[in-house]
Amino acid sequence: MRDPSRTLAAFYSIDELSRRRSPVHDRHPVALCASTAGFMIAVASFGRRDVSAILPLFLYPVLTLALADLRPAELFRRLAAVAPAILAIAALNPVFESAPVRVGPWTVAGGWLSFVSLAAKLTLTVSAAFLLVATAGMNGVAAGLRAAGIPKLIILVLQTTYRYVALLLAEVAGMSRAHELRSGPRKGVGRTLWGPMLGGLLLRSYDRAGRVHDAMGLRGFDGEFRTGKAARFGKADALYCSSWLSFFALVRFVDVTGALGRMMEGLAFGVVR
């Protein structure tokens, strides 16, 4: 089992990333949320066998990563955590789609195209979600959802859950450390202790949730997370959002990869002649 303290540190590291300053971090949260939503819609709208047409969309996470001054390793660590699930879902396609499809000079099962396309889509959407939280922060995501007209209760549940996950991980880390100190040379948690530890975690979580609720009530919480004065949506934010949305529309309705391939083929043919 993975060390809960490492999971807790990784969880807090995302909040630390959102406090940086960069051309992307400085954009209004609504612009970041709108760009991410448009990106995910564009990714999901492609067919199940569209592989080459979806490739230009990788420019969005790559360029956002560079402009936000984030290390690629910070993204790759999150992708590695969900990669087994992504591959397990996509791996079912070659099993159910065995009809042959012509790809250039090769003939392959259609399921392999679906496999690559689905894996690419899941990779793109997970990357976009991570980059949104790493640049706008959860408070920024909530601001974007409020601007989109999402009900206040849903946003409150999302923010409260996000904040309480850190407390839950801290409880798990404390219980894991206490077990290690009392178990001597034995490694891991025995199966006979899974039930008692989960029951103890449930009771500790229930008690912690009550204390958190009382603390929030004493501080005058009225159902709204207030994070200070909201930034204004400026011209730079509108330009950032409209530029990305225009690019996504271009990639979706124009075969950019095919056009570039034909152009390169024409240039190569001209050089040969």
H or E element, residue 83? helix 72-90
The per-residue pLDDT for 179 is: 74
Give me the residue label for tokens 């809960």: 4
Q: In the predicted model, is pLDDT for residue 244 greater than 80?
A: yes
Q: pLDDT tier at 62 (50, 70, 90 boundaries)?
A: very high
The string of pLDDT tens digits covering residues 85-100 is 777 777 777 666 666 6
Lowest mean pLDDT among 8-22, 30-44, 51-65: 8-22
State both tokens at 33: 């949320």
The string of pLDDT tens digits covering residues 71-87 is 888 888 888 877 887 77
Write phi, then psi, for 101 (nearest 5 degrees). Answer: -135, 140
Residue 55 DSSP label: G
Q: What gap in Å lies between CA 117 and CA 82, rounded to an integer?
A: 17
Report, as an integer, the average pLDDT of 173-188. Answer: 74
Lowest mean pLDDT among 20-29, 92-101, 166-175, 207-216: 92-101
User: Rg (Cα) of the chain, in Å, rounded?
Assistant: 23
Report, as an integer, the average pLDDT of 176-190. Answer: 73
- How much is the mean pLDDT over the chain? 79
Classify burial at 147, counting beta carbons within 10 Å of its beta carbon; exposed 0-12, middle 13-18, buried 19 or more: middle
Q: What gap in Å lies between CA 32 and CA 38, rounded to an integer?
A: 10
Q: In the predicted model, is pLDDT for residue 231 greater than 80?
A: no
